[in-house]
Amino acid sequence: MMSENEMGYRGSKSGIIPVKEQRVDGSWFLTKIAKSLRCTLMGREICYQVKIPSKQLNSQKYYFSTLINNSVNNIINLWFLTGFIDAEGCFQISIRHDKKYKTNWRISLTFQIKLHVKDIALLNNIKNFLNVGTITLHNKDTANFNIYSINEIQVIIDHCLKYPLITAKYSDFLLFKQAFESIKKGDHLTEKGLLKIVSLKSALNLGLSDKLKAAFPKFIPVSRPTFKFNGIPDPFWVAGFISGDGSFYLIIRSKISSTSTTGNIWRSVSLIFGVSLHIRDKEVIQALASYFISLNDSVSDNLTVKPYSISIRNQSVSLYIRRFSDIVNIIIPFLKSILFLESKV
């Protein structure tokens, strides 16, 4: 797990720097040359390998839902769910001091998805479809879908085994799964089993706190399980992943005409679709670019100017589709087709 400082700043700027933020229904931010509306979403930042702050240049916000209504009668496509978990799911191991336990430590597991409260309908769909978990309002802006029970966590484990994650988050799942199996057997109630859980937590998310490191000086760190990207498994995975990690920008640029005596303001409007991930998921970004190109029959392999751009900044990699024609001919038709197909499930 890298720190925020190691990865570098990835906030929102007029130059369209990669953004990955709390799911906000939409927010405006101003620059000297442009006014931009960004619609994006994100799960709890602690569940990501880095913290990517949501720093805006203007606090004024207007809310629009970015919820993809992908379910009918609480039926959700299973690959859509995997894609959404790849983007928003968080696997957590909690270790708290508790004298009620023989080891003096309480171990618990949590699977969580955290969204803006405006999107609580999607969390309810997931909860009702899986028939596990609880939904709580964290504050006036956020809602949490949590699974705490070991029996209920089995549902997520089974799903991710049958419809596996394809990003580096798969390594987190494997660590979480090892902890789950240990707890299910009761090993965590022994000193040896407790140390194993501590070791697993050291490689998960933000790792161990200073207090836990001091409390368990003899723990042996484990390496994160090896992750290998094996391609995009299904269009619905893409739809679920975009619902979590996709960003849609509306850029409005203003300029006073130099030839006008009345000071007329010239404005241009552009749309941008983007996805930003940690650099270790570079293959996922490249695969998404290739996938979207494959959806447009008019795109030639010999094009000197591709309908997308991939940029690397510090420890992040981003995909951008900027041309209006590509938004109209690739992204919008894809989303429309997925929404239509999903209504038939």
| pLDDT tens column, 228-276 | 999 999 999 999 999 888 888 888 777 666 555 555 666 777 788 999 9
How large is the average pLDDT for residues 110-114?
96
- The answer to whether the 4-66+231-342 and 71-215 domains have the same CATH topology is yes
What is the CB neighbour count within 10 angstroms for residue 230? 11
The full DSSP string for 13-49 is: -TTT-----S-EEEEEEE-SSEEEEEEE----GGGSS
Q: Per-residue pLDDT for 319 more than 80?
A: yes
Cross-strand partners of 255 = 266
Handedness of CA 49, 51, 56, 57 (dihedral sign): negative
Angstrom distances, CA of residue 270 to CA of 7, 111, 219, 325:
29, 38, 53, 11
Strands 71-72 and 90-97: unpaired
Q: How far apart are CA 319 and CA 331, in angstroms?
A: 13
Q: Per-residue pLDDT for 176 more than 90?
A: yes
- Whether the pTM exceeds 0.95: the reply is no
How large is the average pLDDT for residues 30-57?
39
Which fold is adopted by the domain 4-66+231-342?
A: Endonuclease I-creI (3.10.28)
Tokens standing for residue 261: 């005596």
How large is the average pLDDT for residues 104-126?
93
> 9 versus 88: which is more confidently predicted?
88
Q: How confident is the model at residue 37 (pLDDT cuts 50, 70, 90)?
A: very low
Region of 263 please: left (phi>0), alpha (psi -120 to 50) or beta: left
| pLDDT tens column, 44-92 | 444 444 433 332 223 233 333 334 444 444 578 999 999 999 999 999 9
Give the alpha-carbon dihedral of 248, 272, 1, 173, to 10 degrees.
Answer: 60
Q: How far apart are CA 200 and CA 205, in angstroms?
A: 10
**CATH class of the structural domain 71-215:** alpha beta
Cross-strand partners of 246 = 275
Q: How far apart are CA 132 and CA 61, in angstroms?
A: 34
Q: Per-residue pLDDT for 171 more than 90?
A: yes
Q: Per-residue pLDDT for 28 more than 80?
A: no
| pLDDT tens column, 118-168 | 889 999 999 999 999 999 998 888 999 999 999 999 999 999 999 999 999
Helices 169-184 & 191-202 angle (0-180, nearest 10): 170
The amino acid that residue 241 corresponds to is: F
Cross-strand partners of 311 = 318
Q: How far apart are CA 50 and CA 191, in angstroms?
A: 31
| Close Cβ partners of 291 (under 8 Å, ≥ 6 residues apart) | 232, 238
Which residue matches tokens 């650099």?
279
What is the CB neighbour count within 10 angstroms for residue 28? 17
What is the CB neighbour count within 10 angstroms for residue 236? 23
Identify whether the C-beta of residue 271 lies closer than 8 Å to the C-beta of residue 247. no
Which runs of E-coded beta strand occur in the chain? 24-30, 34-40, 71-72, 75-76, 90-97, 105-116, 134-137, 142-147, 246-256, 265-278, 309-313, 316-321
Q: CB burial class (10 A; 0-12, 13-18, 19+) of residue 176?
A: buried
* Domain residue spans of the chain: 4-66+231-342, 71-215
